[in-house]
A = this chain, B = another copy of it.
Amino acid sequence: MSDDPSSKARSTAVEQLKSLGLSTYAARTFVALVTLGEATAQDVSDLADVPRTRVYDAADELRERGLVDVKRSNPKQFWAISSETTGRHFEREYEHRVSTLTDALDRLDDANRSTEQRGVWTVTGREAVTDRVIDFISAADDEVVYVTVGELLTDEIGEALSRASDEGVSIRLADMSESIEDRFGRDVPAAQPFESLWDWSDTPAGRLLMVDQEKTLVSVLVDGKGEYPPEPRDETAIWGVGSTNSLVVVLKALFTWQLDEDRDSNGE
């Protein structure tokens, strides 16, 4: 039926609204009101699969949130705000929540975070790994060594590298694809590319990161079945900090050797 495409949009909208904190009835009612424009409880009940007697509660929940207006006629009429306004609304709500959260967390965040550690931590998920990489780069004082493949050099990481470079941190990027090299010729003028120790073309690829010779991260892409849909759990990394950390020690040795090698071949 012609409802099929819109019914998909309908269910995704309901899902998102629920994840944003609305009850199922309220979410369904809101979606119905968006499509109907102006409607009575009966109309909503017919379209949204919400018991008619519950539409009033759902609409009230929505009204308290400022998502729906009510016409005090008989029968009552309901009206949903436009999708743009909905976006603005949740944007404000979200900003408020996140800023409250980060404020509170900042007040708790202890200083004893980047001390010496033994052993290594594991991270799964590409976004989570990217977060750690950005953390490390942002905290760099002297030097960042980053071996990666173009696929994993996102804008966010580029920005972090640029910022670090601006603060006088020396950036060493390895095994960049052409397009990436072009990009970072602009973005990170101070980046000094060097030849990678390994040939990544055959491996499933991943990244190597060393910051200030005391924080290191190693990741591999683990495309489980097929690499067609970018799986959420498609990257796993281990990382460790501290000059005596075993992972740091071994990577420092490798990188130091490799970088010296590189400098020699460049006639420095």
Query: Which A residues form the contact surface with B (CB < 8 A)?
Result: 5-6, 9-10, 12-13, 16-17, 19-21, 31, 34-38, 63-64, 66, 69-73, 77, 79, 81-92, 94, 97-98, 100-110, 112-113, 115, 117, 119-125, 127-128, 131-132, 134-135, 138, 239
Contact = CB atoms under 8 A, between A and B. Distances in A.
Nearest to A97: B16
Contacts of A10: 104, 108
B85 A119 contact: no
Nearest to A105: B83
Contact of A102 (B5, B79, B83, B105): B83
A147 B162 CA distance: 48
A217 to B, nearest CB: 11
A160 to B, nearest CB: 11
A69 to B, nearest CB: 4
Contacts of A127: 66, 89, 92
A212 B164 CA distance: 52
Nearest to A135: B85
B119 A71 contact: yes
Contacts of A63: 124
Contacts of A38: 117
B37 A107 contact: no
Given A13-B105, A102-B87, A104-B16, A123 B69 contact: yes
17 contacts: A5-B107, A6-B108, A9-B108, A13-B101, A16-B98, A16-B101, A16-B104, A19-B21, A20-B97, A20-B101, A66-B128, A69-B122, A69-B239, A82-B109, A83-B106, A86-B105, A87-B101
A92 B125 CA distance: 14
Contacts of A135: 81-82, 84-85
Contacts of A82: 109, 113, 135
Contacts of A86: 101-102, 105
Contact of A119 (B35, B77, B125): B77
A105 B34 contact: yes
Contacts of A9: 103-105, 107-108
B70 A112 contact: no
A66 B123 contact: yes
Contacts of A88: 131, 134
A32 B82 CA distance: 40
